Amino acid sequence: MLRERLGFVPEVRDAELFESLPTAGVIGAERAREKLDFETRIHWRDFR
């Protein structure tokens, strides 16, 4: 699907994460955690 829409398949940077947690988000907060000391307080499942 991505190849059809984007013309390429983006690099998977943390394949082990997706293997162990298939529902992991595709946009990570690691950089915000490193640069801004940001930690999420809520999870999308809390909105169900």
Q: Could you tell me if 39 and 47 are in contact, meaning their C-beta atoms sit under 8 angstroms apart?
A: no
Does any domain span residue 48?
no
pLDDT per residue over 9-18, tens digit each?
A: 888 888 898 8
Which 8-state DSSP code applies to residue 44?
G
Does any domain span residue 8?
yes
Q: How many domains are contained in the chain?
A: 1
Does any domain span residue 23?
yes
Does any domain span residue 36?
yes
Please say if the pLDDT value at position 43 is more than 80.
Answer: no
> Could you tell me the residue range of the domain that residue 34 belongs to?
2-43
Task: DSSP for 5-40, please give it.
Answer: HHSS----S-HHHHHH-TT--SS--HHHHHHH----
Q: Rounded to 5 degrees, what angle do the CA atoms 36, 39, 42 make?
A: 140
How far apart CA 4 and CA 20 sit, in angstroms, is 27
Please say if the pLDDT value at position 26 is more than 80.
Answer: no
Does any domain span residue 28?
yes
